[in-house]
Structure 1
Amino acid sequence: MKILTLISSGLNRPDINKLLQEEAADRMPRISLYQRELNSDMLDERFLQTIPKWRKIIYKFLPIVLQQVIEAYIICHKYDLVVTWAERLAYPFAFLLKITNRRVPHITLNSWISNPKKSKFLKLTISHIDKILLWSSVQKNFALNHLKIPESKIEFIRKFADQKFFRPIERETDLICAVGSEMRDYPTLVEALRGTDIPCHIAAGLTRGKLYNTVKALYDIKELPPNITIGPKYYYELRELYARSRFVVVPILPTDTDNGLTCILESMAMGKAVICSRTVGQVDVIQDGITGIYVPVQDPLALREAIIYLWNNPEIAKKMGLAGRRYLEEHHTFEQFIESMRTIIEKVIMEHKQRKNNL
């Protein structure tokens, strides 16, 4: 079995040799595990640097996403199945298959299909997507109940953290932290911490070369409290930040997606309690009062109360963190995700072969 995975990872990601060195040195998560275990070529931005020169000349006039999609279309005959990681890659690829009447085993990992524009494009291209894998049960329900997509095409899949890289590490917990960019409500966090003496580092910056408006709003705050610092962290620096944090705060703007889930799972893997905004979409992981605390969206007073409570009760924070680590080990490890993917991939490939034999 050989698969092709379309994914956006940015040109800052190390090449495979450097990646393996960094993983072996325990400086970054085992990103290559997916590639090795599922025998996948990764068609990311760096992959485009290896293609024939004549295609590079043509592609330079196109956005990178379209470059990836067209390249996948050209080479997908070499593979048993194509995985598209995100809607912006999935739907253009499926559309290209549709207008050329070409059948290729294709599954996609999606996070926000309730977005009106994405919903329209999904309905247009669903005929050339075999399985839509969704990180969120809310999004799965939307697909079934609103878009009326057949249940056979929809699957809820648990997101993961590399539990071997992000693991409990004994450190003095002398601060708290917040991590991430998408749909973050950092102004509310700043107001919640204003006037307290609780140190907090917000690990946020450019994401794949882009500064999200949610992060820009943080940098635009003119009078940042002295107990708050800001700046991105590399993987091993981020792990150290988690280790030093008594707990982790994930302030999220109103959304029906799973925004914040990567940070939540990494925090749980590190054995840290999580304070999170109770959005419509963030419902599948945190157990309120057991592995973390939910607070109302955009409520600095409620957030301040939760922060002060866990800061002043480190044993409760530690108990929640240990419960979170157990939950992650049971449901959200990297290996569990890969095995789920393997099962789905093998089933889709088999179904394609059966349909082909019946023609």
Structure 2
Amino acid sequence: MCPPRILSDIRISQSPTWRREVVCLHDLRAVPPESSLTVARSTVSSVRDLFHIVRLSRGFDVIVTSDIRTGHLFALVRRLFRLRRPKHIILELMLDEERDDALWRLKRYLQRLVFSTVDVSFVSSTREVIAYAKRFGIDANRFRFLPFHTNVTEPRIVGHSEGYILSAGMTGRDYATLCAAARGMRQRFVVVSDRASGRGLEFPENVDVLYDVPYSKYLGLLENCRFVVVPLKKLVKSTGQVAVLEAMALGKPVVATESTGTLDYIESGINGLLVPVGDHLQLRRAIEALLEQPDLHRTLATNALESVRQHHTFEAYTNRIIQTAKEILGRPS
């Protein structure tokens, strides 16, 4: 049986399997490569991608969309024209928090119409499967948990340290709780984020804050830290898993908030430590435990790296997508 013909708007060059089995929209001559885009340009780019996907779709069995706008638009086209082929998979679906106003209710109604046509929507946590199925009134089997991948292409233990604790990221971060936990400690912390995430906060003297640093500088800070803290707010959507997996892939133990974005990636006491949302005392105790117990530090680092190697590489990620494509086409994987 012939392998499925898959077209996607995302290039995952780190995966040999993806390069071999998936046609990237932006590798076709008709579609120019992406550039740095403003919000307005992003919308234009999504519409342009939709045009090419629709034009090319008859030559493919499955369309995989990563850009959320493109995914919405293609699903809408399928709804309006009652299309069942090609199949449609959405990657890394992440929706906003629920609100109780007329505009949000209209948005939810439109999303229900759109997502009713999508064959599989991948999400980055098991909690999102339940939450999104309930929000849209759609069978939970149409939402599937796809463990996220690390962006570190060569997972390894980086043993050296300059002594500081690193906390990085923007979406859903709870730096107020980190500040409360760090205040009065003799330990140095480095926070890497954007100004919006730090607005209104008074960071203690032992916390250095760096805004909008290049990714390469962030990676250098990650490689040289003692371990990583990922403080998160309670949200419906998953956040924090990117920072968690990058740290784990470099053998850096992680202390994180027990939340939608961490429960599927960290087994507390095994490959990291989880603390309750907004509890600065528990966060401080977990930080102190890692500082004072080198055996715990070493065990968590080793297990974290093994978790990434087994479950969170680009190959593991893309293989699950391709297996799902075969499944919804009724082909053996």
Give the alignment's TM-score, normalised by structure 2. 0.80
> Secondary structure of the equivalent of 2:255?
strand
**Percent identity between the two aligned chains:** 23
- Provide the rounded CA distance (Å) in 2 between the counterparts of 1:100 and 1:49: 27
Give the Å deviation of 1:107. Answer: 0.6
The answer on 1:160 being equivalent to 2:149 is yes
Q: Does 1:108 align with 2:90?
A: yes
Q: What is the identity, as a one-letter code, of the residue corresponding to 1:91?
A: H
Superposed displacement of residue 121, structure 1: 3.6
* Counterpart contact for 1:30–1:162, Cα < 8 Å: no
Is contact 2:15–2:318 with CA below 8 Å preserved after alignment? no
Deviation, 1:300, is 2.5
Matching residue's letter, 1:131: V
User: Which range moves more in the overlay, 232-241 or 317-326?
Assistant: 232-241
- What corresponds to 1:99 in structure 2? 80
Rounded to whole Å, the distance in 1 between the matches of 2:87 and 2:313 is 26
1:138 matches 2:127: yes
Answer yes or no: is the 8 Å Cα contact 2:26–2:33 preserved in 1: no
Structure-1 residue corresponding to 2:238: 258
Structure 2 counterparts to residues 23-42 of structure 1, below 5 A: 31=14, 33=16, 35-42=18-25
Q: Which moved more, 1:182-191 or 1:96-105?
A: 96-105
Distance 2:133 2:202 in 1: 45
Query: Per the alignment, do residues 281 and 337 of structure 1 end up closer, same or farther by CA in structure 2, a change over 3 Å counting?
Result: closer
Deviation readout 1:289-348 (Å, 9 max, x if unpaired):
122221221222332222222123233122111111112222222211111112112333
Deviations 1:158-187, CA, capped at 9 Å, x for gaps: 211145434222313411111221111122
Alpha-carbon distance, 1:276 to partner: 0.9
1:3 is matched with 6
Residue correspondences, number? 313
State the Cα distance separating 1:65 from its structure 2 match.
3.5
Greater shift, 112-121 or 301-310, is seen at 112-121
Taking the aligned partners of 2:44 and 2:80, their CA distance within structure 1 comes to 20
1:147: Cα distance to partner?
A: 4.2
Give the C-alpha shift of residue 279 in structure 1: 2.3
CA distance in 2: counterparts of 1:86 and 1:302, whole angstroms:
37
In structure 2, relative to structure 1, the CA distance for the partners of 1:60 and 1:88 (3 Å cut) is closer
Letter in 2 for 1:6: D
* Range that drifts further, 60-69 or 128-137: 60-69
Residue number in structure 2 paired with 1:310: 290
Map residues 232-271 of structure 1 onto 2, 5 A cutoff. 232-271=212-251
Q: Which residue of 2 aligns with 1:84?
A: 65
Counterpart CA distance in 2 for 1:110 and 1:338 is: 12
The equivalent residue for 1:182 is 171
Structure 2 Cα separation of the partners of residues 48 and 125 of structure 1: 25
Sort the Cα spacing of 1:61 and 1:279 in 2 relative to 1 into closer, same or farther, 3 A. closer
Q: Which runs of 5+ in 2 are unaligned?
A: 35-39, 99-103
Aligned to 2:255: 275
SS at match of 1:276: strand
After superposition, what is the alpha-carbon deviation per residue over 1:212-249, rounded to whole angstroms, capped at 9, x for unaligned?
xxx51415535552542314454543333222222111
Cα distance between partner residues in 2 of 1:113 and 1:227? 32
Task: Give the counterpart letter for 1:105 in structure 2.
Answer: K
1:27-52 Cα deviation digits (max 9, x unpaired): xx9646575143331459xx96469x
| AA partner of residue 72 (structure 1) | I
SS at match of 1:246: coil
* Cα deviation digits, residues 239-297 of structure 1 (max 9, x gap): 33222222111111111332111111111111121111122553211111122221221
1:72 to 1:62, Cα distance in 2 relative to 1, 3 A = same
Call closer, same or farther: CA 1:98–1:161 in 2, change over 3 Å.
same
Q: Which secondary structure state, in structure 1, belongs to the residue aligned with residue 113 of structure 2? A: helix
Give the equivalent residue in structure 1 for 2:139.
150
Residue in 2 aligned with 1:203?
Answer: 192
Spell out, residue by residue over 1:119-176, the C-alpha distance to the aligned partner (whole angstroms, 9 max, x if none).
5344212343121222211122234556443355332222111454342223134111
Deviations 1:43-72 (A, max 9, x none): 59xx96469xxxxxxx97955444433443
8 Å Cα contact 1:70-1:93 kept in structure 2: no
Q: Which moved more, 1:261-270 or 1:224-233?
A: 224-233
- The one of 301, 310, 332 equivalent to 1:321 is 301
State the partner residue of 2:274: 294
Asked if 1:192 is matched to 2:214, the reply is no
Matched AA of 1:174: G
Of residues 140, 158, 171, the one that matches 1:169 is 158
